[in-house]
Amino acid sequence: MTQPNPSTAQARTIVDELHRHGADYVVISPGSRSAALAIAFDQHPGITTRVVLDERSAAFHALGRAGATGAPAVAVCTSGTALANFLPAVVEADLSHVPLILISADRPPELLHVGANQTIDQVGIFGERARWTCTISPAESVRDGNAYWRTTVSQAVARAVGHAGRPGPVHLNIAFREPTVPVGDDGRSSAEPYPFSIEGRLGGRVWQRHDRAHPGGLPLSGADGKRGIVLAGYGDFDAPALKGAADRLNWPVLGTAQSGLRTTDVVTTYHHILAGGVPASLLPDVVVTVGKVGPSDRLGALTGLDVPQIHIDPWGTWNDPRRHVTSMLQADPVATLRSVVPADDDGFAVSWAEADSRMRRALDEALAMYEAPTGPSLARALSGAEIGQLVAASSMPIRDVDGHTSRVGRVIANRGASGIDGFVSVALGVSSAVTRTVALSGDLSLLHDASGFVVDPQGDAVFVVVDNGGGGLFDLLPQAEHAPGFDRLFVTPHGLDLVRLGEAYGALTVVVDDVGTLARSVTSRAEAGGIHIVVVPVDREIDLKVRRALDEVAGEVCSGLS
């Protein structure tokens, strides 16, 4: 079938091949040079499109979608600085191993380096952060580009999901000549029809299939017959199978909020158990870290012990910020643990489980003594809400979720680069794939990406916002005592009415100052659908007082463990 012009043929072919590879969700930011792509994506019956005004927000929206599904999501932008706004999300996707396909429209070669409008050098703009970058030359009526375009798409998808390396972002830079709308003459430019076939392989098959295999297990030197601990963080592993492998060894598992391992028999209160170091009765002979652990810096008490410190990652990612690891293994964590000879069951795992249970009861009782909302009490309350997916912002929200939320299931958070940027968009991207998505945010995280609410269609999500008038995390850092101009330079109080802000963006916004009703309020709003913002006022001084009181309680519990 003849296409009206080469650019339309090129866009339709690329879109079709992306869909054959499983891309079914595309985030589009408006622009002229990218018109052929936007129209082709929007007209494809198997693809859902979202229009996001701000390219920075658009890329984070796609990041949230991909993080929730594990499948590549696509973000499309026009030429010029539009592409530069993708960079923050690219950084996070790189460090978090999230498959992201970024497609930018570009000017044709004859318009480069001559001062043409909205034209920059787009090639390689993301540097080594992109797993792969490819510029696709303009389509021509005299050349059949079908195989060229489809094999390029096949390779882009393969690279994004980890073929020949770690999963992460890829960048396709596509040069388009006008017209970029599906006509032969748009009134200011004209082109000959594209005469070649743009059909894909029969039966909806992809043009090029790609398969990959994870590495198998490796011997775990020095672990046979020992008392070990598994620290499970964010990574690419089978969470239930990892827990089963640890149980066979009689090793306790400390599961971070992002591990997907939080169940009734996984240790979750380690932040407070380790408040004064590792209790003597809980000292291990070997520590195995799987994935990227955090955000609690108190895990350093375990990873700093003078025992074998082994890090296992199937992609070979070098996660050792404290430089404590004694052995780095690029291997399958489950297969590796299954190769270890179990220790005699001397009750070591039971001791950790009992410590966790005692600590949980003590923390819950201590929090119940305070009526005023605090970060820890909000995170604890959300454990009782009926949530499909919890998304936590960086800074204090993810720390509070990690320390006080016991709900089963993985928590999504941008902990690759740990920025607060793009949070609204990430949460909305997650909600496109998971119903009943709830996002716990600080006030600054919400403000930083408020433009992310400008999306069509807007979707469904509940945002619970800790409104403490700025960056409460800094109250816990040295700046609080030693930095001149502390409030203005670090806390950055904004003085904005978040209710009016939320209403301006079309969100159903309320204030909730009773932690006891929070779970019920969040559940009902998640059931109702639409965008909701629940603003919870938090006094920073009371919040800090409660955190210190919890550490005192933790010390009392730990004194009975040694």
Here the tokens at position 523 are 């559940």
CB count, 10 Å around CB of 154?
A: 20
Q: Do 406 and 283 lie in a common domain? A: no
* Under 8 Å between Cβ of 502 and 441: no
Residues 59 and 140 in one domain: yes
pLDDT digits over 133-159, tens only?
Answer: 999 999 999 999 999 999 999 999 999
Report yes or no: 302 and 310 within 8 Å, Cβ to Cβ.
no
Per the document, the length of the chain is 562
**Does some domain include residue 235?**
yes
Taking a C-beta distance cutoff of 8 angstroms, is the pair 160, 103 a contact? no
Per-residue pLDDT band for 345 (boundaries 50, 70, 90) equals confident
Shared domain for 182 and 262, answered yes or no, is no
pLDDT of 115: 76
Spatial CA neighbour of 223 closest among 316, 354, 355, 333: 333
Q: Which two tokens stand for residue 129?
A: 């952060």
The DSSP result for 211-242, as a single string, is ----------TT-TT--EEEEE-BSSS-HHHH
In this structure, are 124 and 237 located in the same domain? no
What is the reported pTM? 0.94
Q: What is the C-alpha to C-alpha distance for residues 390 and 400, in angstroms, rounded to an integer?
A: 13
Strands annotated E in 292-430:
309-312, 327-329, 389-392
Q: How many domains does the chain have?
A: 3
Residue 380: closest CA among 536, 151, 235, 275: 536
Q: Examine the domain organization and report whether 385 and 528 are in the same domain.
A: yes
Separation of alpha carbons 36 and 41, rounded Å: 9
CATH number reported for the structural domain that contains residue 493 in this entry = 3.40.50.970
pLDDT of res. 198? 94
Which position has the token pair 């990652």? 313
Among candidate residues 356, 388, 409, the one where a domain is terminated: 356
432 found inside a domain: yes
Residue-wise pLDDT for 432-482, tens only, equals 999 999 999 999 999 999 999 999 998 999 999 999 887 666 666 677 677
Give yes or no: residues 146 and 248 share one domain. Answer: no
Indicate whether 260 belongs to any domain: yes
Which residue, of 186, 206, 236, is where some domain finishes? 186
- Domain contains 211: no
In a domain, 50, yes or no: yes
Contact 267, 324 (CB under 8 A): no
* Nearest CA-CA partner of 286 in 217, 224, 351: 224
Residues 147 and 267 in one domain: no
Reported as a single tens digit per residue, the pLDDT across 474-493 is: 666 677 677 687 677 776 77
Spacing of C-alpha 557 from chain mean position: 34
Tokens of 288: 């195995």
Report the pLDDT value the prediction gives residue 478, as an integer from 0 to 100. 77
Query: Could you tell me if 278 and 384 lie in one domain?
Result: no
Least confident of 99-103, 110-114, 133-137, 144-148: 110-114
Let me know if residue 555 belongs to a domain. no
Provide the domain limits for residue 144: 6-186
Is 80 within the bounds of a domain?
Answer: yes
Evaluate whether residue 394 is within a structural domain.
Answer: yes
Q: How confident is the model at residue 354 (pLDDT cuts 50, 70, 90)?
A: very high
With b meaning 16 or more CB within 10 Å and e meaning fewer, what string describes 60-79?
Answer: bbbbbbbbbbebbbbbbbbb
Tokens 């158990």 locate to: 273
Q: At what angle do helices 6-20 and 146-160 cross, to 10 degrees?
A: 40
Residue 330 CB coordination number (10 Å): 15
Q: What confidence tier does 112 reach under pLDDT thresholds 50, 70, 90?
A: confident
How large is the average pLDDT for residues 400-418? 87
According to the model, what pLDDT value does residue 262 have? 84
